[in-house]
Amino acid sequence: MEKEILTGWVIGDEGVLTAEELARACRADVSWIAELTEVGVLDPEGKEQSGWRFCATDLTVARRAARLQQDFSVSTEAVAVMLDLLAEIERLRDRLKRAGLDPNE
């Protein structure tokens, strides 16, 4: 029985992923990463696409965007709105917790 060796790297807050690497991690095209950047979902370091660098949070956001787009078959713009609404829900739940209220009751 052959054993497969998996390799990987730790992604921190500093920009370490290129657009190509981020696209590959999301099983998407670089043009999709560019679309996410155009609508403000992603905010890479660097001005030119060839110099863009992304961090761990960008990977998390891009994967979440990919799941939303796949699950709901919506445009990139709609995904941006959905992500904004989900972030607002999280902020409101945090405020409720800080106020001593359980948002799940």
Whole-number Å distance between alpha carbons of 88 and 65:
16
Q: Compute CA distances 5 → 1, 8, 11, 30, whole Å.
A: 13, 10, 19, 27
pLDDT for the residue numbered 28? 96
Q: Where are the beta strands (DSSP E) in 39-81?
A: none
Domains of the chain with CATH codes: 19-98 (1.10.1660.10)
Q: Report the predicted TM-score, pTM, of the whole model to 2 decimal places.
A: 0.80
Q: Which residues of the chain have pLDDT under 70?
A: 1, 6-15, 103, 105
